[in-house]
Structure 1
């Protein structure tokens, strides 16, 4: 077992009902060399009274500033050569750190991440990575070995391909080298701050390596307040589009032409989805036109394709509605005739 100190950062905001489970999952780790830092991001519930004086952790209370500010506050206090962050509504299995630290040391990885059980509203936990279409090409050779507890190593080229399309490693899944964290969490990003942290390592650190395991080593607790902090769908889409533009700005100089095209395409698809939502749900023509124009300015051909796709969906939905009304009218008439 390794002897490196792991600094675990738990950012929290109004999670008094859940945070003790997260804390105990850290205390119950089989890996003994742990510094636990809980950063209270200005909670308005009884979090302070509940954990402010607990032994076995460092409690830091700051004015509310968001996920990135809280995590960076914890990072500034971290003493370990390895860093992990655990969301205050998630829990680790007891061997999470032991296995992740072992993988970092064995494969000389900059970061590693583990699969997880994700709670669903039907009560059946989901094997999350197994259903991820972006990571699937990297999993298939691994599954043929029938060794769910082994690790898949991702070279720099594989990481570039995977992380431009998706971020398969949420914050609670990851352990990383402190020396590989180049800039911390980006305060300008409101949803993609974790993604940007990994992209920094992948694109700005030469020879970046990572590894992941299909073994499920933690649990993600899903509830109504942790899906994008309870924001409405249009708010989430607004944030995603803003983050897309920021990511293009940050990484433009580090990307090949084809890689940049992937990020730009993502921006156009998200912007057009926002335009559609603003029009259909809120009849906000001004906002719809704004994002249609921005999409055309970024990638005209892709924007045209997306408009035709959305028109096709709208026409198909309209046709189904008309067809259903006709069938209903015919059925009603038939019943009336039979009744007479």
Structure 2
């Protein structure tokens, strides 16, 4: 039996969206659905036309990535949720490898490493993410320093997300970081798979390039809010 995995692709005026969709559709895992949430795009939506028979396409007014993810998750029929930004792409065995890893550990949440690539797919930084052993407590501890989880590497049970609530749209750039803190504080163990299973792209229009001051401001706000709560929780793990 292969539980269904819903791959959510938020999309807003991104020229790379075809590659993201193809990488999702070309997964070796046999039971997936691909949901593209168009967050009010006025460019590049025509690139989705060849895939409309194979994906679920949802269009909404522009509201930011958190709102697109929330809508995609609400429409998802899968037991598990994966998130793929429209400018990144999965390697073919991403879902298959991660599902097998989670089954072995009876895990509800996992994340992986990734290569950092440029607009032409040249690898700028291989294995760009922080690497851990399989001890989930290391991940908890690292959250006292920074965010080690690239959102596009995650695979998570949908029921876990439903328990902690939606991505927070008021965190326009750090809705993922906010969610990870909330999951950790709910008792969700984040298991790390030490494999590169996605390519994460930097380019001139990427939000991480254009909005660094706003991102840093939100990061400081979240760390000030959550780290005092997380510290005592971590002590209880040892």
TM-score strictly above 0.5: yes
Residue 255 of structure 1 deviates from its aligned partner by 3.3
Verify the 8 A CA contact 1:160 1:203 in the aligned structure 2. no
Q: Which has the larger radius of gyration?
A: 1
Alignment map for 1:230-269 (pairs within 5 Å): 230-231=210-211, 236-249=212-225, 251=226, 254-256=229-231
Distance 2:18 2:197 in 1: 19
Q: Which residue does 2:4 correspond to in 1?
A: 5
Distance 1:201 1:89, change over 3 A: same
Count the aligned residue pairs: 230
Task: Determine helix, strand or coil for the equivalent of 1:153.
Answer: coil
Q: Which residue does 1:272 correspond to in 2?
A: none
Distance 1:114 1:57 in 2: 25
Per the normalisation by structure 1, the TM-score is 0.62
Per-residue CA shift, 1:39-60, capped at 9, x if unaligned?
001001141x332571111101
Per-residue CA shift, 1:126-171, capped at 9, x if unaligned?
2134xx5xx35x3xxxxxxxxxxxxx4233x333211232222212
- The runs of 4+ residues in structure 1 deviating greater than 6 Å are none
Task: Determine helix, strand or coil for the equivalent of 1:189.
Answer: coil
Distance 1:124 1:256 in 2: 36
Residue 10 of structure 1 deviates from its aligned partner by 0.1
- Structure 2 stretches of 5 or more lacking a match? none
Q: Which residue does 1:33 correspond to in 2?
A: 31
Residue 7 of structure 1 deviates from its aligned partner by 0.8
Residue from 193, 196, 201 that aligns with 1:221: 201
Q: Which residue does 1:178 correspond to in 2?
A: 158
Verify the 8 A CA contact 2:116 2:127 in the aligned structure 1. yes
1:196 aligns to 2:193 (yes or no): no
Distance 1:6 1:169 in 2: 19
Verify the 8 A CA contact 2:185 2:233 in the aligned structure 1. no
1:153 aligns to 2:134 (yes or no): yes
Alignment map for 1:1-340 (pairs within 5 Å): 3-15=2-14, 17-47=15-45, 49-51=46-48, 54-120=52-118, 123-129=122-128, 135=130, 138=132, 152-155=133-136, 157-181=137-161, 182-205=164-187, 208-228=188-208, 230-231=210-211, 236-249=212-225, 251=226, 254-256=229-231
Residue 114 of structure 1 deviates from its aligned partner by 1.6
Distance 1:243 1:217 in 2: 26
Task: Determine helix, strand or coil for the equivalent of 1:255.
Answer: helix
Higher relative contact order (CA 8 A, sep 6+): 2
Distance 1:242 1:98, change over 3 A: closer
Distance 1:246 1:195 in 2: 8
Residue 175 of structure 1 deviates from its aligned partner by 0.6
- Structure 1 stretches of 5 or more lacking a match? 139-151, 260-340
Distance 2:165 2:229 in 1: 15
Q: CA RMSD in A?
A: 2.4
Task: Determine helix, strand or coil for the equivalent of 1:165.
Answer: coil
Per the normalisation by structure 2, the TM-score is 0.86
Verify the 8 A CA contact 2:101 2:193 in the aligned structure 1. no
Higher helix share: 1
Q: Which residue does 1:295 correspond to in 2?
A: none
Q: Which residue does 1:264 correspond to in 2?
A: none
